[in-house]
């Protein structure tokens, strides 16, 4: 039987101080053009935490509004605040920077990161008050250090400074004096990724209504690499995340594929479960400091706020079929192969129609497509266009070519089979996966039957190949009853199974 | 003389527009010599 | 434009001579096309890369512009570009590219 999506977690972290110090657009500018107008002007374009929370696309990401509700508000959205929007949502939360620094410190197992004792004292209560942060994590908080120690490591020991409201409040030091793979810069990126992955994983476990002990395996699919000079990408974020999140029975590994990583990882996870190797697998990923303010030059030039001011994270819980949850159909996979080439139409055909053709289905038989759900507020002013819309136009054009829709219906195809993008440009974060939480609910409510999740990856950026990459899979209405009936299981047995699963589902809803 | 025939062509493609390799196929078909092809990514 | 790409453009121009080089772009929008075109003609407008203050004046086109499209084997264009051409705002790209070439192209 197919595996199911049992629950999802989606989190954002507002990190205004990391934009200038850790975003590569800014750090590169500091090297090549230190006195530039851009660097002078940037601080005037930073959003407050409240502004980031009151932003419709961010509220969509954490599940407080649906993609349909977002699409009903005409963009751009950055100048239309949602007043008094909540921090917490159905899928997760938007964590403020100070609390995230505490979470980062708890995720550091090598005594690399220390915060000022006053800073810890000031923010510890808020950190503890977050219902998702349990006592084992709180117990990992270090009481903090004096300013002298912070300044010593930042000034004399190549540590990365940790800043809050532009003030030095901590350090994250290198893990080796010579090895660049363990430099303070790399360790900071990796601990940020790990901490945001931990947060998303905690929400996914809670939302799925499972126990932490139930998780057999976790697959990390972010775009960072951890290791040392003898094994630069040795790994593994997954198990490191599971340790802090308390998934005591889980092992894990990392899967990489640039922005297509999540789609590959979910197919792997669904395969592990369907094969019977494991009963419960989590796919998770944290966020990326390097991409903060990536398109900032264009945003500042056009008088917009720096919209790339949040880290993203997500986690998807995939389990054995429970009779009710939306399924992952492994008979409907699409993949970009070595021989596919890089022509956009070849790429999209490989990803979209490969699996449809196998089952004699039409493009219009998929109710919703979730390709790359980048927020157009971010990409349009930067000259990358409206990425999801571009994908929908391509899929629509394919449907016209195949004679499945009329050319006159091409204009309405994106709204009917697609959505407006809402995810931050954090590479792997927008790549198909932001819709999985909504798709699960829409499928279970009977609003849609099939959704295709599409991940695409720019492998060529690694300079190891000039190839592109992509992977797609289909989520669908649960077919357990049909499958069991076909296998000779009695209707009564099926009813008992479904009744049990529905009870669990209802209990989770109440718990929410 | 043709704009492309016998010319050295440098390609700057775009992941969300036309990728470098696709442009390279086109340029070669027009008799140009592709000396560099790259694809940029803004997302 | 990516810094490594700027470096390569500069090196190839020195090696082969600016008059022998054509730059082809695949940008997703008119404005992005114009910025890339400006970089290889007038110099990097963002003052970040090796082409800052370097006016190469290279011939530069977007692959969807008619001058280039007509030179490409029809079947190859159909296979590689045609569907993306339907997605892009080609008129906007043409107008941005023409403006940059008129102002900065030396060849």
Q: How does residue A119 score in pLDDT terms, banded at 50, 70 and 90?
A: very high
Interface contact A342-B22, CB threshold 8 A? yes
Where would I find the H helices in A230-285? 237-245, 261-274
Q: What is the pLDDT of residues A157-212, one digit of tens each?
A: 999 999 999 999 999 999 999 999 999 999 999 999 999 999 999 999 999 999 99
Distance from C-alpha of A61 to C-alpha of A422, rounded to nearest angstrom: 7
pLDDT at A300 over 90: yes
Share of chain A above pLDDT 70, in %: 99
Which chains sit next to A, with 3 or more Cβ pairs under 8 A?
B, C
Distance from C-alpha of A31 to C-alpha of C62, rounded to nearest angstrom: 31
For helices A97-107 and A117-129, give the axis angle rounded to 10 degrees: 100
Interface contact A32-C46, CB threshold 8 A? no
Contact A19, A43 (CB under 8 A): no
Chain C touched by B3 (CB under 8 Å): yes
Question: Where do the structural domains in chain B lie, given as residue ranges?
Answer: 8-40
Q: How does residue A325 score in pLDDT terms, banded at 50, 70 and 90?
A: very high
By a Cβ cutoff of 8 Å, what residues of chain C touch chain A?
3, 27-29, 31-32, 35, 46-49, 79-84, 86-87
Size of interface A-C (CB pairs under 8 A): 48
Q: Which domains does chain A have, with CATH numbers?
A: 328-511 (3.40.47)
Distance from C-alpha of A246 to C-alpha of C95, rounded to nearest angstrom: 58
Q: How does residue A491 score in pLDDT terms, banded at 50, 70 and 90?
A: low
Contact residues on chain B for C9, CB-CB shorter than 8 A: 10, 36
Interface contact A294-B42, CB threshold 8 A? yes
Contact A283, A265 (CB under 8 A): yes
Please give the C-alpha separations between residue A232 and each of A180, A224, A235, A320, B36, in angstroms, as whole numbers: 10, 11, 8, 35, 29
So what's the pLDDT on residue A435? 98
Q: What is the pLDDT of residues C14-54, one digit of tens each?
A: 999 999 999 999 999 999 999 999 999 999 998 889 999 99
Q: What is the pLDDT of residues A14-47, one digit of tens each?
A: 999 999 999 999 999 999 999 999 999 999 999 9
Distance from C-alpha of A207 to C-alpha of A441, rounded to nearest angstrom: 12
Distance from C-alpha of A3 to C-alpha of A325, rounded to nearest angstrom: 9
Where would I find the H helices in A305-452? 344-358, 376-379, 387-401, 413-417, 436-444
Q: Enter the ipTM.
A: 0.95
Q: What is the pTM of this model?
A: 0.93
Distance from C-alpha of A313 to C-alpha of A10, rounded to nearest angstrom: 6
Contact residues on chain B for C40, CB-CB shorter than 8 A: 10
Q: Which of A32, A383, A397 sits opposite C86 (nearest CB)?
A: A397
Q: Which of B15, B21, B22 sits opposite A458 (nearest CB)?
A: B15
Q: What values do phi and psi take at A167, rounded to 5?
A: -110, 140
Please give the C-alpha separations between residue A258 and each of A459, B19, C87, in angstroms, as whole numbers: 6, 16, 24
Cβ-count burial of A1 within 10 angstroms (0-12 exposed, 13-18 middle, 19+ buried)? Answer: middle
Distance from C-alpha of A135 to C-alpha of A200, rounded to nearest angstrom: 17
CA distance B1 to chain C (A): 12
């Amino acid at each position: 039987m197919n595996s199911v999506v049992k629950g999802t977690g989606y989190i954002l972290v507002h990190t205004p101080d990391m934009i200038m110090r850790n975003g590569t657009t800014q750090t590169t500018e500091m090297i090549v053009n230190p006195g530039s107008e851009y660097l002078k002007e940037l601080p005037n374009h930073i959003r407050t935490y409240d502004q980031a929370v009151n932003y419709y696309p961010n509220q969509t990401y954490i599940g407080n509004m649906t993609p349909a509700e977002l699409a009903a508000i005409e963009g751009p959205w950055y100048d239309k605040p949602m007043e008094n929007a909540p921090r917490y949502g159905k899928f997760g939360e938007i964590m403020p920077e100070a609390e995230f620094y505490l979470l980062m410190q708890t995720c550091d197992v090598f005594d690399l990161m220390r915060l000022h004792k006053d800073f810890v004292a000031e923010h510890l209560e808020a950190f503890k008050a977050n219902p998702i942060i349990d006592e084992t994590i709180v117990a990992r908080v270090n009481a903090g250090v004096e300013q002298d120690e912070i300044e010593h490591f930042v000034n004399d020991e190549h540590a990365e400074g940790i800043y809050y409201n532009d003030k030095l409040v901590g350090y994250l030091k290198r893990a080796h004096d010579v090895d660049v793979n363990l430099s303070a810069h790399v360790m900071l990126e990796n601990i940020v990724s790990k901490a945001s992955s931990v947060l998303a994983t905690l929400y996914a476990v809670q939302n799925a209504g499972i126990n932490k002990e139930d998780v057999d395996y976790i697959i990390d699919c972010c775009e960072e690499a951890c290791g040392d000079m003898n094994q630069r990408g040795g790994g593994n974020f997954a198990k490191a995340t599971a340790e802090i999140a308390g998934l005591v029975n889980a092992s894990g590994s990392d899967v990489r594929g640039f922005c297509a990583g999540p789609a590959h990882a979910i197919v792997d996870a669904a395969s592990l479960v369907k094969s019977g190797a494991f009963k419960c697998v989590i796919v998770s990923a944290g966020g990326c400091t390097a991409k903060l303010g990536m398109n900032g030059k264009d945003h500042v030039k056009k008088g917009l706020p720096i919209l790339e001011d949040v880290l993203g994270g997500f986690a998807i819980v995939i389990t054995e079929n429970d009779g009710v949850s939306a399924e992952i159909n492994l008979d409907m996979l699409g993949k970009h192969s070595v021989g596919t080439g890089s022509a956009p139409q070849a790429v999209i055909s490989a990803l979209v129609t490969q699996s449809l053709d196998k089952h004699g289905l039409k493009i219009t038989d998929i109710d919703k497509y979730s390709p790359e759900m980048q927020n157009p507020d971010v990409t349009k002013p930067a000259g990358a266009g409206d990425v999801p819309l571009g994908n929908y136009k391509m899929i629509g054009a394919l449907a016209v070519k195949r004679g499945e829709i009329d050319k006159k219906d091409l204009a309405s195809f994106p709204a009917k089979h697609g959505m407006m993008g809402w995810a931050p440009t954090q590479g792997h974060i927008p790549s198909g996966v932001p819709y999985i939480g909504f798709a699960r609910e829409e499928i279970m409510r009977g609003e849609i039957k099939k959704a295709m999740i599409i991940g695409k990856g720019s492998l060529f950026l690694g300079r190891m190949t000039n190839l592109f990459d992509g992977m797609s899979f289909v989520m669908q209405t649960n077919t357990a009853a049909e499958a069991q009936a076909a296998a000779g299981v009695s209707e009564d047995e099926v009813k008992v199974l479904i009744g049990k699963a529905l009870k669990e589902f209802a209990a989770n809803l109440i718990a929410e | 003389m043709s704009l492309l025939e016998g010319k050295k062509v440098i390609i700057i493609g775009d992941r969300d527009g036309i990728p470098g390799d696709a442009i390279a196929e086109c340029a070669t078909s027009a008799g140009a010599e592709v000396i560099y092809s790259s694809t940029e990514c803004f997302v | 434009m990516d810094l490594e790409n700027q470096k390569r453009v500069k090196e190839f121009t020195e090696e082969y001579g600016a008059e022998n080089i054509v730059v082809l772009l695949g940008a997703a929008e008119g404005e992005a096309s114009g910025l890339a075109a400006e970089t290889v003609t007038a110099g990097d407008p963002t003052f970040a890369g090796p082409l800052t203050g370097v006016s190469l004046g290279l011939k530069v086109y977007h692959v969807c512009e008619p001058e280039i499209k007509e030179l490409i084997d029809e079947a190859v264009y159909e296979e590689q570009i045609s569907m993306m051409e339907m997605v892009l705002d080609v008129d906007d790209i043409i107008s941005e590219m023409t403006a940059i070439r008129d102002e900065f192209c030396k060849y």
